[in-house]
Structure 1
């Protein structure tokens, strides 16, 4: 497995994991158990999204599209 993204927080991590899983890309989210120790650990870089090597290209593309998405006009 290869790390394709470091989410900023648990909400972003779960959204991206769900996105990848909806496209049949198995995804492992690491660092979830470390969130409770944030007072003693650095608050940045604890989370990581990992996918199979063969799925890394598509996973990175989907994540990039998600991060660059624009709101739909009229749904504010």
Structure 2
């Protein structure tokens, strides 16, 4: 297994797990059980997504595309330009 990404929070981790799973990639989330200790343990690098070695390249491509995504014109609220509506 390779650790391929460190999500900012548990919500981003779960969303990425769902996206990768929809592409047939099995994902392990390291640090999920430590989130409750935030404040007691350092949080940088606490969460990590790991996938099988043979799926790591494709998973990284999908995450790169996720990180590069831009809102489509008209899909963002007027009060928050550049923000996607989910």
Matches within 5 A, 1:27-38: 27-38=27-38
Rounded Cα–Cα distance in structure 1 between residues aligned with 2:39 and 2:27: 27
Rounded Cα–Cα distance in structure 1 between residues aligned with 2:2 and 2:43: 22
Matches within 5 A, 1:1-76: 1-76=1-76
TM-score scaled by structure 1?
A: 0.95
Count of residue pairs brought into register by the alignment: 76
Rounded Cα–Cα distance in structure 1 between residues aligned with 2:72 and 2:14: 22
Rounded Cα–Cα distance in structure 1 between residues aligned with 2:70 and 2:40: 36
TM-score scaled by structure 2?
A: 0.85
Rounded Cα–Cα distance in structure 2 between residues aligned with 1:60 and 1:20: 10
Larger radius of gyration: 2
| Unaligned stretches of 5+ residues in structure 1 | none
Structure number with the higher helix fraction is 1
Q: Report the RMSD for the aligned CA atoms in angstroms.
A: 0.7
* Divergent runs of 4+, >4 A: none
